[in-house]
């Protein structure tokens, strides 16, 4: 088991806090502060106990060291706005003179945010020297960076090895509870709903889930590779011909296990995205592409969803960005919300669908992670999670 934040007295301690503050920033303006607000409960808990907190995060993918467009300075400003009455200090480097000088001057109940961790090229390489420098910032390591736990980076994996006390923040505690522990012994029937554009993006989770669940429904662009593998015409819909063999093998395994493997039986088609005049059809003609699931498919999926006691959903049912092709995703969101099942949703577009459908308050858990969510659901061992368990023994 791992140690949770409330299981250790952090009062007056020096804490290094790894966060995921990787928010979209354009021309110095934050476009979506969701990841910042998600970190606030853990930050406030530490500050209310007079911890001296050195927080760190990455932002974007700077390639060769510091780059102004990837600075965390706008994030520090936003944190100060969200934490009125708290001194939020910003360091102009990660493990340089400015960072260590400001860290040593921190008073109890104050927060220091370091500059972008990826300005240090050793961060993504899992550099042990960088980890040793990070160790100097605190006596307690707290991680709440769920979006980064699948990376064996210096601040995520190497640094916590060096701390005697390693704790899971509130956000990561909840993610592990739902995506790992609850899904190891799910209440059954256990149903998976997967969408998105490409089969290739979902191979690990598909291969894992087909062994674990009691039913799968596939939609979105990825469904058309499966339909093609089954011998159906898909017109000009998204098709990964190199994935046909994989799709066939996954469907064969579902048949061997005797579980439902649902694919669209009707579609919302159009000649192109540039001419998005939707038509409902049971078949896709040679000059059209499918951009959403049709009403019969919605009903088919909803009937299976209704039986489930545990539901995992990742990826939209169609081209959710276009209003003409949004209905399938929104209707499935409502169907999921209407069940009494444990409902776990991850993936940016599916989360957006939940919000557009107005059902976010009826979802058991909405994951903040992208790749980390999928890998944990698939049962993969993630470096940033495994180190928590190792240190919790």
Q: Which two tokens stand for residue 75?
A: 């994030």
The rounded radius of gyration (Å) of the Cα atoms in the chain is 23
Backbone φ, ψ for residue 165 (5° rounding): -115, 120
| Dist. CA 101–CA 95, nearest whole Å | 10
Number of Cα atoms under 13 Å in the Cβ half of residue 351: 11
Answer yes or no: 35 catalytic. yes
| Dist. CA 52–CA 13, nearest whole Å | 6
Q: Which residue of the set 49, 180, 198, 296 is catalytic?
A: 198
Answer yes or no: 348 catalytic. yes
Backbone φ, ψ for residue 189 (5° rounding): -70, 145
Contact 170, 46 (CB under 8 A): no
Displacement of CA 243 from its chain's centroid (Å):
24
| Dist. CA 251–CA 248, nearest whole Å | 5
Number of Cα atoms under 13 Å in the Cβ half of residue 126: 12
| Dist. CA 7–CA 235, nearest whole Å | 57
Q: Helices (DSSP H) in 155-314: which residue ranges?
A: 159-161, 170-176, 182-184, 203-212, 223-229, 244-257, 295-307
Q: Which residue of the set 96, 371, 379, 392 is catalytic?
A: 371
Contact 79, 88 (CB under 8 A): yes
| Dist. CA 31–CA 279, nearest whole Å | 35
**What's the length of the chain?**
393
Q: Which residue of the set 3, 14, 35, 343 is catalytic?
A: 35
Q: Which two tokens stand for residue 298?
A: 């919605």
Contact 43, 63 (CB under 8 A): no
Q: Which residue of the set 252, 348, 358, 381 is catalytic?
A: 348
**Catalytic residue IDs:** 35, 198, 348, 371
């Amino acid at each position: 088991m791992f140690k949770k934040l409330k299981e250790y007295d952090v009062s007056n301690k020096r804490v290094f806090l790894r966060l995921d503050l990787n928010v979209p920033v354009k021309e110095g303006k934050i476009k979506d502060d969701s990841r910042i607000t998600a970190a606030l409960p853990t930050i406030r808990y530490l500050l209310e106990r007079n911890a001296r907190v050195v927080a760190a995060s990455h932002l974007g993918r700077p390639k060769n060291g510091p780059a102004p467009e990837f600075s965390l300075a706008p994030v520090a400003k936003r944190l100060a706005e969200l934490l009125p009455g708290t001194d939020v200090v910003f360091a102009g480097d990660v493990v340089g003179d400015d960072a260590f000088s400001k860290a040593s001057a921190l008073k109890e109940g104050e927060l220091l945010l370091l500059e972008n961790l990826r300005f240090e090229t050793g961060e993504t390489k899992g550099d042990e020297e960088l980890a040793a420098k990070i160790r100097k910032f605190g006596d307690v390591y707290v991680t709440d960076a769920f979006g980064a736990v699948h990376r064996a980076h210096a601040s995520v994996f190497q640094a916590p090895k060096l701390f005697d006390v390693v704790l899971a923040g509130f956000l990561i505690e909840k993610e592990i509870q739902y995506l790992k522990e609850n899904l190891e012994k799910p209440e059954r029937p256990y149903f998976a709903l997967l969408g998105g554009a490409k089969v290739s993006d979902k191979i690990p989770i598909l291969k894992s889930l087909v062994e674990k669940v009691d039913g799968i429904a596939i939609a979105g662009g990825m469904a058309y590779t499966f339909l093609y593998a089954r011998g159906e015409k898909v017109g000009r819909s998204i098709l990964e011909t190199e994935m046909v063999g994989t799709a066939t093998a996954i469907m064969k395994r579902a048949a061997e296990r005797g579980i439902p493997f649902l694919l669209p039986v009707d579609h919302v088609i159009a000649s192109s995205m540039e001419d998005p005049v939707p038509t409902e059809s049971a078949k896709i003609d040679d000059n059209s592409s499918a951009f959403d699931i049709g009403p019969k498919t919605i009903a088919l999926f909803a009937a299976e969803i209704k039986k489930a006691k545990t539901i995992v959903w990742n990826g939209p049912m169609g081209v959710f960005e276009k209003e003409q092709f949004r209905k399938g995703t929104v209707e499935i969101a409502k169907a999921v919300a209407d069940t009494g099942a444990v409902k776990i949703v991850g993936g940016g577009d599916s989360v957006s669908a939940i919000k557009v459908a107005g059902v976010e308050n009826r979802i058991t858990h909405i994951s903040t992670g992208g790749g980390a969510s999928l890998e944990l659901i698939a049962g993969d061992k993630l470096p940033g999670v495994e180190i928590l368990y190792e240190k919790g023994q």
